């Protein structure tokens, strides 16, 4: 007996569910980061391209390289980046004053998304 082909809606639903599960696995790892070095190690654990969750690792890598808000990041990611920057700043891993600017940028992006 042959299997029926999945509809586009079914495939999109499965992809969204896989992405949600990937976020649920990635989120506690991001929240637990304490240092820039640990954050870079997490980026290196990224799944292969086109895999569910890859964008979270890519967003983190972009953020760590530029300290700019990744365009594809969601509100919750930005909130976790905000906490991460606060930890980096407290640990002295950022140039003086840089942490405040990065935090302001993240807050502005979060406010813009909330509107």
pLDDT at residue 1, rounded to an integer? 52
Tell me the two tokens of residue 103. Answer: 């935090």
pLDDT at residue 109, rounded to an integer? 94
pLDDT means per 10 residues, the chain with 115 residues, are: 78 94 97 97 96 96 97 95 96 94 95 80
Is residue 39 within 8 A of residue 33, CB to CB? The reply is: yes
pLDDT at residue 41, rounded to an integer? 98
End-to-end CA distance of the chain: 51
Dist. CA 68–CA 1, nearest whole Å: 53
Dist. CA 113–CA 3, nearest whole Å: 42
pTM greater than the 0.85 cutoff: yes
Q: Of the candidates 16, 91, 30, which has an alpha carbon nearest to the alpha carbon of residue 60? A: 30
């Amino acid at each position: 007996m042959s299997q029926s082909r999945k509809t586009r809606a079914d495939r999109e639903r499965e992809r969204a569910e896989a992405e949600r599960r990937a976020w649920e696995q990635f989120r506690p790892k991001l929240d637990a980061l304490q240092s820039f070095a640990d954050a870079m190690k997490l980026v290196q654990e990224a799944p292969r391209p086109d895999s569910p969750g890859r964008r979270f690792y890519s967003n983190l890598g972009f953020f760590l390289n530029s300290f700019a808000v990744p365009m594809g990041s969601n509100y919750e990611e930005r909130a976790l980046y905000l906490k991460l920057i606060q930890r980096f700043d407290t640990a002295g891993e950022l140039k003086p004053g840089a942490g405040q600017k990065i935090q302001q940028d993240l807050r502005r992006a979060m406010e813009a998304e909330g509107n």
